[in-house]
Amino acid sequence: MEQIVEKERCVGCKACGDICPRKAISFPVDAEGFWYPAISHDVCIDCGMCQRVCPVLNRTAVQNANAQKPETYAAYHTDLAMRRNSTSGGLYPAIAEAFRGGRQADGGMRKPGTSYLSGCAFTRDWMGAEHIIANDHDGFERIMRSKYFQSDTEGIYRRIRDILRNNDNRVLFSGVPCQIQALVSYLEKTNTDMSELYTIEVICRGINTPLAYRAYKKELEKKYGAPVREFRFKDKSHGWLNLGTKVIFENGRIYYRDRDNDPWVNAFIAGDLYMRKSCANCPAKGFPRAADLTIGDFWGYKFNKDEKENGLSVALVNNAKGKQLLDIAGDRLLVRPADFETALTGNPALTDCAPLSEKRACFFTYIKSMDYSAAVWKSLGLSEYARRKRRIKKLLRTAAARIYHAMKR
């Protein structure tokens, strides 16, 4: 086998490595910090399994007649603390709590077997992200919240296969759409019964390089004089819509920047500086979806004051399993029907691929010799003066809004 798929199309899911019967595939990291499969030709037997499992080459067969136009809901966790501790409306933790506890859609408890969660977590040293499997509260806490750069899934599909084949266990897997497609494809190709597999995908704009995250972390640790104790993207300390980045350090110091001032948000959302190249031709866009349930921020919705502060989730129910997942968390959620077209308009990432910025090459050149934030701002052409001017404008807008609302009372 010369290659599995062209480098520009590879999503980095690592399903090919898990399915290779000879362990002939490794994943070296390139200059941009992304991993790609490399085949050891002296070990490869040309069985073709790597190409047959690849979600780029094979659009995964959707399960249970997934919908072209799924039922759509707006939802948030009724526990305010849990909702504020999540990055959206708290939909995933509500479902994961119920699932981990063995809850069934009819309200009964599942026996025998064990309920497992599998999802993206920061590594213990905060150096990256990885997919883990857990059935305890610590694992649940690690999977919660967004990471916004690519997680390492090496070995995860094989481990989930083994769990599903043992003692009527069940698994709730969460990830970005291409990871869902990779998992389902892997289980299909290994003839694994998926009746006890449940999948949740997060609406994905694109996958960022771990290299950028590590550079950001390194710069902040140097500036604040201590290792990171906790890293929070989309922190709600100053409201959900601020898209805040909050980092807590071992010495107790805290870094916080909102969407206007944080280099990560500007590089990712405004700049498209360091997403994986395959995101420009994502194989997981459109409908029907491969996942049972699609969740994310309900952008495009007409928010009330509470929702602006604390978050609102969108839920797209793609099949009967997706509805079961929503049902088991019913007593933890406030759920109301919503318009599919509104969700689609507010979340164009469901159907549209992210662009690759013409400034992308600049970032990867600058990051070789500059701190992370300097590389971002220079790539985007935003000087300190321009950023300061932006901050002043925001302060004036905020003050004007407060005066307006005070006068209305």
Which domains occur in the chain, in start order? 7-53 (3.30.70), 71-208+275-350 (3.40.640), 210-274+358-408 (no CATH)
CA 197 – CA 202 distance, rounded (Å): 17
What pLDDT does residue 238 have?
A: 93
**Predicted pLDDT at 398:** 61
Dihedral (CA of 313, 92, 164, 158) sign: positive
Q: Is 190 exposed, middle or buried (0-12, 13-18, 19+ CB in 10 A)?
A: middle
Is residue 360 scored above 90 in pLDDT?
Answer: yes
Q: Kindly indicate the confidence band of residue 170, based on its pLDDT and cuts at 50, 70 and 90.
A: very high
Least confident of 320-324, 346-350, 405-409: 405-409
Which pLDDT tens digit goes with each residue over 75-92?
Answer: 999 999 999 999 999 999
Out of 67-81, 201-215, 279-293, 383-397, least confident range: 383-397
112 or 138, which is more confident: 138
The total number of residues shown for the chain amounts to: 409
Helix (H, G, I), strand (E, B) or coil at 293: strand
pLDDT > 80? residue 67: no
Report the distance separating Cα 167 and Cα 299, nearest Å. 41
Overall average pLDDT of the 298-305 stretch: 96
3-state secondary structure (DSSP) of residue 51: helix
Nearest to 150 by CA among 125, 123, 169: 123
pLDDT at 108: 45
Upstream peptide bond of 227 is cis (omega within 30 degrees of 0) = no
pLDDT at residue 409 greater than cutoff 70: no
Cis amide prior to 112 (ω within 30 degrees): yes
Higher-confidence residue: 404 or 171? 171
Q: Which of 25, 53, 54 is nearest to 39 (CA)?
A: 25
Confidence at residue 391, expressed as pLDDT on a 0 to 100 scale: 67
Mean pLDDT of the chain: 92
- In percent, the amount of the chain with pLDDT more than 90 equals 84
Q: Is 181 helix (H, G, I), strand (E, B) or coil?
A: helix
Q: Kindly report which listed range (1-5, 105-109, 257-261, 315-319) carries the lowest average pLDDT score.
A: 105-109
- The confidence score (pLDDT) of residue 66 equals 74
The residues near 47 (Cβ < 8 Å, ≥ 6 apart) are 21
